[in-house]
Amino acid sequence: MWKQIVTETNRQWATLGKYHTRLWPFAPAATFTFAQQPTARKLTSTSAAKPTPPKHDWNRAVSEAERIVGYPTSFLSLRWLLSDEIANVALHLRKLVGSNHPLLKTAKHLLYNGKNTMQAWGLIVLLISKAAGHASSVPDMEQDKSAGVLHSQRALAEVTEMIRISHLVHNSIVNLQPTSEAGKDTASYEDMAFGNKIGLLTGDYLLGHSSAELANLRNQEVVELISSAVRDFSESQFIGDRDEQNNPLPTKPGSEPPETNGTATTESIDFDVNDVMIPMNVLKAMGNPEKEWECRNILNAGSLLGKACQGALKLAGQDEDMQRQAYLFGKHLSLAWQACLDAEPFQITTLPLDTTFSLVSAPVLYHLEYDPSLYDEIEKGKVSVEKIDYVKIHKAILGGPGLEKTKELQRKHTTAAIGVLEKFPATDARTALENIILAMQDL
């Protein structure tokens, strides 16, 4: 019964590295890829954006990029994997095997599938760092000459990954309130409570260590920026209607926007350039499919990637404008990425058994605008999204404009990301980033 609870999390995992088979943390730096299975599926509508080479292979794009910045990221360091606490977690996780705690699934995806975006996140921070270069005033001691990035930037990439994992782990906590289904299930209660404990502490461990790493960068503006990305992650879990397990539900079409908190928020759907403390104006966007989707996903992903890219350039002493461009790049890239993920379940004509998708993914939101009557089915998920007939929704969306619009959305953000890249000098790192973006379009 917990299968669906992790739906949202899984969406983020079942990613571009679809055919990516390497065992993630144990792959030595030099041998990035194994069996490069051909990309089985080709999209119909992606030919316009990229004329040259006919097929962009994701695995190749990523492994070439990794070579450019040296070993993948320092996050893979044994120091982290062998720490007492993580060893402890592994020990405790073993006790959970057999239970249905979503944490297991998160851990599995993290460690064994290799189907995760995690590594790519740090990679992108490193690539943008290299693409931008650094001010000449940075002392030699702080540079990783062979890779062309600063040690501090590498640390920031590591922090980015840690924060992202910590968010995913915290998100796999089960709501055990006595009123909820899970809270009433006495048979599994003990397991769930224990899983929550481990998940919570693991997330906190990662968060605590990222603060420490961040502090050691000795750059308070970066600390401020990345802390605000943690804030955005937390905020993202409060937006809109939620079921018992906090899975997001779309806003009812035509409903009035909820009351605001009365605090200062930004004007547009993005963050205030001058004050990271000011939250994004989410409420204004609710109900408009594209804006609502953008809001949710900036908070849930774009914020961290964008701010990490921005921070990386800050560390290199780049000027404000370049920093801003880096932020925009990270934001658009993660949005394009998310649109790509959102489209995936709708590439096939029949939904496989037991497969679900996020109810706030772009195709669903677009379809609700096109045909508000679909909300009647979604409303059945008010208590638990498991009650919803996903096949029915899947079918309805395939009959509407949702998928096509999602593709358009992906193109929009891809174009924006590429556009930003053009402001960076032509380097191998920039080419690598372009290749990753193009490969993403092919998935």
Amino acid at 285: A
CB 255 within 8 A of CB 193: no
CB 365 within 8 A of CB 327: no
- Closest to another protein by CB, 102 vs 402, is 102
CB 232 within 8 A of CB 304: yes
Q: Enumerate binding residues for another protein (CB under 8 A).
A: 84-85, 88, 92, 167, 170-171, 173-178, 193, 196-197, 200-201, 203-205, 207-209, 211-212, 214-216, 218-221, 223-224, 227-228, 230-231, 233-235, 237-239, 242, 244-246, 258-261, 263-265, 275-283
Q: Which helix (H) or strand (E) element contains residue 168?
A: helix 151-171
**Which residue is associated with the tokens 């309130």?**
177
- Closest to another protein by CB, 21 vs 175, is 175
Q: What angle do CA 392, 247, 178 make, to 5 degrees?
A: 115
Report the DSSP beta bridge partners of residue 99: 97
Minimum distance between the CB of residue 257 and another protein, rounded to whole angstroms? 11
**Which residue is associated with the tokens 């001691």?**
141
Q: Which long-range contacts (CB under 8 A, 24 or more apart) does 282-286 make?
A: 282/235, 282/239, 283/257, 283/258, 284/257, 286/239, 286/240, 286/251, 286/257, 286/258
- Closest to another protein by CB, 297 vs 435, is 297
Minimum distance between the CB of residue 296 and another protein, rounded to whole angstroms? 12
| Phi, psi at 252, each rounded to 5° | -65, 130
Minimum distance between the CB of residue 79 and another protein, rounded to whole angstroms? 14
Minimum distance between the CB of residue 363 and another protein, rounded to whole angstroms? 25
- Closest to another protein by CB, 203 vs 345, is 203
- Closest to another protein by CB, 208 vs 253, is 208
* Torsional class of 250: left (φ above 0), alpha (ψ -120 to 50), beta (otherwise): beta
Minimum distance between the CB of residue 214 and another protein, rounded to whole angstroms? 7
Cite the beta strand spans of 16-163 per DSSP E.
143-144, 149-150
The residue among 440, 436, 439, 443 whose CA lies nearest residue 125 is 436
- Closest to another protein by CB, 202 vs 441, is 202
Amino acid at 205: Y
- Closest to another protein by CB, 264 vs 348, is 264
Minimum distance between the CB of residue 403 and another protein, rounded to whole angstroms? 30
- Closest to another protein by CB, 215 vs 391, is 215
CA torsion, ordered 337, 201, 228, 279, to nearest 10 deg: 90
The residue among 316, 162, 291 whose CA lies nearest residue 239 is 291
Which token pair is 129? 């760092």
- Closest to another protein by CB, 236 vs 318, is 236
d(CA 329, CA 347): 27
- Closest to another protein by CB, 90 vs 391, is 90
Minimum distance between the CB of residue 173 and another protein, rounded to whole angstroms? 5
- Closest to another protein by CB, 114 vs 279, is 279
Minimum distance between the CB of residue 179 and another protein, rounded to whole angstroms? 10
Q: Which helix (H) or strand (E) element contains residue 372?
A: none
Instruction: Please give the full DSSP string across 182-204, using - where no structure is assigned.
Output: HHH-HHHHHHHHHHHHHHHHHHH
**Which residue is associated with the tokens 């759907």?**
269
